[in-house]
Amino acid sequence: MCKENLYERIKVLESKDAGFPAFHKLIQSNETPYIYLKNLIETNEVEAESFITQLEQAQALIEKESQVSDLHSQMTEDIYGKMELLFQTKNDVSVSATVATWEAMLKRPENYISEELQLSDVNAVVAYATDKLAQADQYGVFRFVRIQQFYKEREILLNS
């Protein structure tokens, strides 16, 4: 391998991230990555090529980890966005309490007859609670499917 090619590969790595995080994952050095690699190329091209290949692999892994993080953030945003639409909160404990209330409405509908709640009789309470629990079930299915989608996307990304 010629030195010019090795310098080109360094430039590509450097352009991906000026901080050269892959370099710092592989080696502890006070030298800047470029100076360290330049010295290595000038003294031992074979070792330099091997090390640059390791850097490229480490950089690819860092990029994949970043993409996985982005996928996770998008999944979380999707799940909590939909949660907020249905439950008017992004707090898991509040969601559980709300679902427990809807379940209690079905068990003891007479306790929830109220003009304030706009539930005038047992049938209105049961209809409301049944509808809300059906929506909660749909959300639960959405959440489960979305999490599985994330795992599949992550697997594909990490194995590419």
Domain total in the chain: 1
* CA 17 – CA 19 distance, rounded (Å): 5
Range of the structural domain that residue 70 is part of: 3-158
pLDDT in tens, the chain (160 residues): 688 888 888 887 777 765 567 776 777 766 777 778 888 888 888 888 888 888 888 888 888 999 999 999 999 999 999 999 999 999 999 999 999 999 999 999 999 999 998 999 999 999 999 999 999 999 999 999 999 999 999 999 988 8
Spatial neighbors of 14 by CB under 8 A, at least 6 apart, are 20, 33, 34
Spatial neighbors of 7 by CB under 8 A, at least 6 apart, are 38, 41
